[in-house]
């Protein structure tokens, strides 16, 4: 099997249901179920206190009509595991986006802890009346842990991106994180969790790019740091800590800013830049991104053609994560606090 065909199999495995537990023997299935039960009990016993404040409001001391940033997805988009709104990824990205655009940014957050891809349609319906300029979606972990059918999860994500793009909203999706870094999960479930999450991330990338969106591989967020540095996790050892969310936000920011044309080209040049651009068929691009955190994938063309002999073309791009400014709201909706 060639490298290209292996990549295509990885990228499409989730869509067609490959790589599942259904191929395992009954003994292994029983073992996996027991390990999953033990992991859930351990996480629940150390569960975070609850969702942090939403942080919805206006960021940036600038005049003019604000850009609208919508945040959709699951507990990673909510920021479960931290206490303050300014520690959540949506607020961190909104504050940084205001500085880059030199315009105010209004944050609208409809993400819900525990959400799966099937819940995105409801979130999209809530956010569309706000006329968002760009949407940041973080989704996938609950699809894996609940063993949702990958084909359905990918279909639901694609439908959400399609609806947002039809409304003129740019979309950046943080794909399924690497569940192999979760300490409460024992072997062999941890290895299978890594495999399932990477397959789903690759399939998510293919679907999102096909609908005109971009993806950023969160994987273990910034490489091996989550697997080796436990400070990146909150007390439940499942959700990120403030440091972990800052890493995720820094990973997402360049793509969100670039999607609306406010990411400075100079930031991708110079000796400190990690930018690496390449154009590949979408299946190979998706498989490569799934195994390398921080990689952006977006649709592109070659010689004026969007589709090549092996499917749509996609551009892979890596950037050095930037330093984020302090996230302080200028104005918040009535009754919402940032502390």
Catalytic residue selected from 239, 258, 288, 293: 239
pLDDT in tens, 104-150: 999 999 999 989 999 999 999 999 999 999 999 999 988 887 777 88
Task: Report whether the peptide linkage leading into residue 188 is cis, meaning its omega lies within 30 degrees of zero.
Answer: yes
**Catalytic residue flag (residue 119):** no
**Catalytic residue flag (residue 75):** yes
**Catalytic residue flag (residue 61):** no
Domains and CATH numbers, the chain: 3-16+28-49+68-331 (3.40.50.1110)
Average pLDDT over residues 249-256: 93
Catalytic residue selected from 74, 143, 178, 236: 236
pLDDT in tens, 288-327: 887 677 789 999 999 989 988 888 899 988 877 777 766 6
Contact at 8 Å (CB) between 75 and 63? no
Question: Whole-prediction pTM value?
Answer: 0.81
Q: How far is CA 22 from CA 5, 17, 38, 57, 289, in A?
A: 23, 9, 21, 46, 26
Catalytic residue selected from 75, 76, 197, 220: 75
The residues near 153 (Cβ < 8 Å, ≥ 6 apart) are 14, 116, 117, 118, 140, 143, 200
Bridge partner list, 307: 312
């Amino acid at each position: 099997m060639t490298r290209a065909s292996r990549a295509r199999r990885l990228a499409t495995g989730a869509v067609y249901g490959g790589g599942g537990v259904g191929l395992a023997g009954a003994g292994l299935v029983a073992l996996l179920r027991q390990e999953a039960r033990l992991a859930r009990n351990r996480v629940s016993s150390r569960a975070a206190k609850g969702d942090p404040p939403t942080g919805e409001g206006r960021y940036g001391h600038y005049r003019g009509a604000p850009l609208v940033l919508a945040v959709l997805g699951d507990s990673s988009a909510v920021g479960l595991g931290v206490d303050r709104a300014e520690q959540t990824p949506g607020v961190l990205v909104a504050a940084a986006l205001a500085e880059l655009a030199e315009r105010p940014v209004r944050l609208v957050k409809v993400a819900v802890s525990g959400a799966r891809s099937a819940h995105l349609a409801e979130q999209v319906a809530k956010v569309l009346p706000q006329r968002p300029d760009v949407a940041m979606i973080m989704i996938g972990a609950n699809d894996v842990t609940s063993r949702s059918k990958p084909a359905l999860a990918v279909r639901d994500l694609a439908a959400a991106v399609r609806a947002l793009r039809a409304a003129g909203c740019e979309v950046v999706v943080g794909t399924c994180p690497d569940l192999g870094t979760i300490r409460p999960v024992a072997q062999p479930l941890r290895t299978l969790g890594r495999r399932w999450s990477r397959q789903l991330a690759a399939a998510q990338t293919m679907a999102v790019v096909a609908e005109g969106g971009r993806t950023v591989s969160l994987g273990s967020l910034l490489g091996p740091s989550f697997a080796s540095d436990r400070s990146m996790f909150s007390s439940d050892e499942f959700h990120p800590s403030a440091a972990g969310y800052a890493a995720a936000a820094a990973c997402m920011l360049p793509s969100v800013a670039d999607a609306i044309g406010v990411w400075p080209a100079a930031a991708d040049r110079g000796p400190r830049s990690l930018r690496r651009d390449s154009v590949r068929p979408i299946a190979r691009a998706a498989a490569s991104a799934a195994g390398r955190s921080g990689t952006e994938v977006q649709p592109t063309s070659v010689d004026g053609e969007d589709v090549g002999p092996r499917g749509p073309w996609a551009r892979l791009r890596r950037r050095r994560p930037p330093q984020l400014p302090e996230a302080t709201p200028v104005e918040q909706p009535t009754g919402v606090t940032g502390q």
